[in-house]
């Protein structure tokens, strides 16, 4: 929710993660620390953590999740590799509590996602051979949900509308077994360059990467006539990212949230206009209802009965906020409840046959154009 203590504390949380990260001692300069302490009215560094711990008791302990890239290896081989590196494999976890209790050189198979290994927080694999060779992807568990829930059949045509740096694209390719076609779009040149390298390293083939505003992609272009799946992970406030480098001092302003939500509604509605679309996943790493349930509700209303929400992953413990009837079909994730970053996922499916057009949206007063930055 927009004004929850967790949302308000997010920027501070980000700073504190940098502050406490073992791998980056001194990441927050002394002057910055002093300024933070004055701002929060505390005298000791450790006091800065108190409000964060109250809001997110175990936020500092999100495990290191490792997605096995099945384009290059399999789960059993990855487990054997880590065992040879001195890690003890404890089998498949039975509960989130088991993940929380992980320590030392021990690891588990995740209880929800089949190709996800779980290591203690802050285990660093950036120099590990499996990572540098693209056999594993370092990806938070919540961020693995969108491709997993979209679950495109091998051979399908899929759009990844806001794709860079490409973690979800490579996950989609693994699910497709590199069979089919992925059309991936992003507007950011630098992120696209990183994505290209990452996809090559991960052994992804059968994708077309375009630097293009997805809103300008023509749904009627015959090129996209077989697109039955879309993954839409648009720019958002990022308020669910517990260790992101903070770029704003406070929680996003109401104006920024409104601008983001406006973009998200527009891009979701555009995605639904692809004529062969059957299933779409909408996701954000935001905690704000305005960017999540409210966006889904507004766009579903706009499209009348053409699309419906699917009750995604019924065994997932954390559901959408009760913003509208049926919102519990959406998924939420958080450090406290699911031991992941904060995240939101909704799965939409075409309801019945035909290619309905959206209902005319009510006319709004013209506002000054605002650029929405990532
Ligand atoms: C949350 S990030 C996507 C992360 C990505 N799905 C992944 O898993 O690696 C959102 C992305 O949307 C891109 N973006 C923003 N506006 C866009 C637009 N109009 N069309 C296409 N991409 C856009 C941003 O550049 C950013 O890379």
**Of 139, 159, 162, best ligand 1 pocket probe by most atoms within 8 Å of the beta carbon:** 162
Percent of the residues in the chain that have a pLDDT greater than 90, as a whole number:
74
Which tokens hold the place of 60? 């500092």
Looking at 138, 165, 181, which one is the last position of a domain?
138
Residue 93, class by beta-carbon neighbours within 10 Å (0-12 exposed, 13-18 middle, 19+ buried)?
Answer: buried
Q: Ligand 1 in contact with 136 (CB < 6 A)?
A: no
Tell me the residue ranges of DSSP E strands in the chain: 64-68, 88-92, 106-109, 116-119, 136-138, 157-160, 181-186, 207-211, 227-232, 279-284, 307-310, 331-333, 343-350
Q: Is 60 an active-site residue?
A: no
Q: How far does the centroid of ligand 1 lie from the alpha carbon of residue 235, in Å?
A: 5
Distance CA 257, CA 236 (A): 8
| Predicted pLDDT at 10 | 45
Q: How far does the centroid of ligand 1 lie from the alpha carbon of residue 83, in Å?
A: 36
Distance CA 279, CA 308 (A): 10
Domain check: are 214 and 346 in the same one? yes
Q: Ligand 1 in contact with 80 (CB < 6 A)?
A: no
In angstroms, the Cα distances linking 208 to 157, 200, 294 are: 11, 12, 32
pLDDT score of 249 more than 50: no
Domain membership of residue 162 (yes or no) is yes
| Predicted pLDDT at 352 | 72
| Predicted pLDDT at 127 | 97
Distance CA 112, CA 312 (A): 13
| Predicted pLDDT at 361 | 52
Domain check: are 189 and 301 in the same one? yes
Residue pair 276/310 in contact (Cβ under 8 Å)? The answer is no
Query: Total structural domains in the chain?
Result: 3
Q: What is the pLDDT of residues 102-112, one digit of tens each?
A: 999 999 999 99
pLDDT tier at 357 (50, 70, 90 boundaries)? Answer: low
| Predicted pLDDT at 27 | 37
ipTM surpassing 0.90, yes or no? yes
| Predicted pLDDT at 35 | 61
**Of 164, 209, 215, best ligand 1 pocket probe by most atoms within 8 Å of the beta carbon:** 164
Q: Ligand 1 in contact with 184 (CB < 6 A)?
A: no
| Predicted pLDDT at 25 | 34
Domain membership of residue 119 (yes or no) is yes
Domain check: are 43 and 67 in the same one? no
Position with higher pLDDT, 366 vs 24: 366
Distance CA 35, CA 30 (A): 9
Tell me the residue ranges of DSSP E strands in 206-330: 207-211, 227-232, 279-284, 307-310
Domain check: are 79 and 106 in the same one? yes
Domain check: are 36 and 89 in the same one? no
Domain check: are 203 and 269 in the same one? yes
Q: What is the pLDDT of residues 22-71, one digit of tens each?
A: 333 333 445 555 666 566 555 655 455 554 444 444 445 799 999 999 99
Q: What is the pLDDT of residues 105-158, one digit of tens each?
A: 999 999 999 999 999 998 999 999 999 999 999 999 999 999 999 999 999 999
Domain membership of residue 365 (yes or no) is no
**Segment 69-91 mean pLDDT:** 98
Domain check: are 43 and 70 in the same one? no
CATH number at residue 75: 3.30.70.1170
| Predicted pLDDT at 243 | 67
Predicted TM-score (pTM) of the model is: 0.83
Domain membership of residue 293 (yes or no) is yes
Domain membership of residue 237 (yes or no) is yes
pLDDT score of 214 more than 70: yes
Which of 20, 148, 99 is CA-nearest to residue 337? 99
Domain ranges, residue 69:
63-138
pLDDT score of 200 more than 90: yes
| Predicted pLDDT at 230 | 99
Which tokens hold the place of 349? 């499916």
What single DSSP character describes residue 245?
P
Q: Ligand 1 in contact with 294 (CB < 6 A)?
A: no
Domain check: are 251 and 324 in the same one? yes
Looking at 113, 138, 163, which one is the last position of a domain?
138
Judged by DSSP in three states, 217 sits in coil
Position with higher pLDDT, 184 vs 361: 184
Domain check: are 222 and 102 in the same one? no
Kindly report the backbone phi and psi dihedral angles of residue 282, in degrees, each rounded to the nearest multiple of 5, phi listed first.
Answer: -110, 130
Average pLDDT, the chain: 85
Domain check: are 126 and 164 in the same one? no
**Segment 79-87 mean pLDDT:** 98
Q: What is the pLDDT of residues 168-186, one digit of tens each?
A: 999 999 999 999 999 999 9
Q: What is the pLDDT of residues 294-344, one digit of tens each?
A: 999 999 999 999 999 999 999 999 999 999 999 999 999 999 999 999 999
Domain membership of residue 41 (yes or no) is yes
Domain check: are 75 and 55 in the same one? no
pLDDT score of 345 more than 50: yes
Domain check: are 127 and 255 in the same one? no
Domain membership of residue 364 (yes or no) is no
Domain membership of residue 125 (yes or no) is yes
Residue owning the nearest CA to atom 27 of ligand 1: 164
């Amino acid at each position: 929710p927009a004004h929850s203590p967790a949302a308000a504390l997010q920027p501070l949380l980000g700073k504190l993660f940098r502050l406490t990260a073992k791998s980056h001692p001194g990441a927050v300069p002394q002057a910055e620390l002093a300024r933070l302490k004055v701002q929060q009215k505390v005298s000791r560094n450790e006091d800065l953590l108190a409000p964060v711990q109250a809001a997110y008791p175990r936020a500092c302990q999100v495990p290191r999740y490792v997605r096995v890239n099945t384009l290059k290896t399999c789960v059993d081989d990855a487990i054997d590799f880590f065992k040879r590196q001195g890690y003890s494999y404890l089998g498949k976890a039975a509960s989130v509590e088991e993940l929380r209790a992980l320590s030392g050189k021990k690891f588990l198979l995740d209880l929800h996602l089949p190709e996800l290994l779980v290591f203690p927080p802050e285990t660093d694999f950036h120099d590990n051979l499996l990572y540098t060779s693209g056999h594993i992807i370092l990806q938070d568990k919540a961020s693995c949900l969108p491709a997993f829930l979209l679950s495109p059949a091998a051979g399908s045509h899929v759009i990844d509308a806001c794709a860079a740096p490409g973690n979800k694209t490579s996950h989609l390719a693994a699910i497709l077994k590199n069979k089919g076609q992925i059309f991936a779009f992003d507007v950011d040149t630098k992120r696209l360059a990183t994505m290209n390298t990452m996809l090559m390293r991960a052994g992804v083939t059968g994708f077309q990467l375009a630097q293009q505003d997805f809103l300008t992609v023509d749904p009627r272009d015959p090129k996209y006539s077989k697109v039955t799946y879309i993954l839409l992970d648009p720019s958002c406030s990022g308020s669910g990212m517990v260790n992101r480098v903070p770029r704003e001092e406070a929680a996003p302003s109401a104006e920024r949230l409104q601008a983001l939500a406006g973009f998200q509604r527009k891009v979701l509605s555009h995605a639904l206009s692809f004529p062969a679309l059957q299933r779409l996943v909408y996701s954000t790493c935001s905690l704000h209802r305005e960017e999540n349930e409210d966006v889904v509700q507004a766009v579903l209303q706009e499209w009348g009965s053409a699309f419906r929400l699917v009750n995604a992953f019924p065994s997932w413990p954390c559901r959408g906020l009760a913003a509208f009837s049926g919102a519990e079909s959406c998924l939420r994730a958080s450090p406290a409840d699911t031991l992941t970053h904060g995240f939101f996922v909704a799965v939409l499916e075409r309801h019945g046959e035909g290619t309905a057009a959206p209902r005319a949206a009510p006319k709004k007063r013209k506002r000054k154009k605002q650029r929405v930055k990532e």
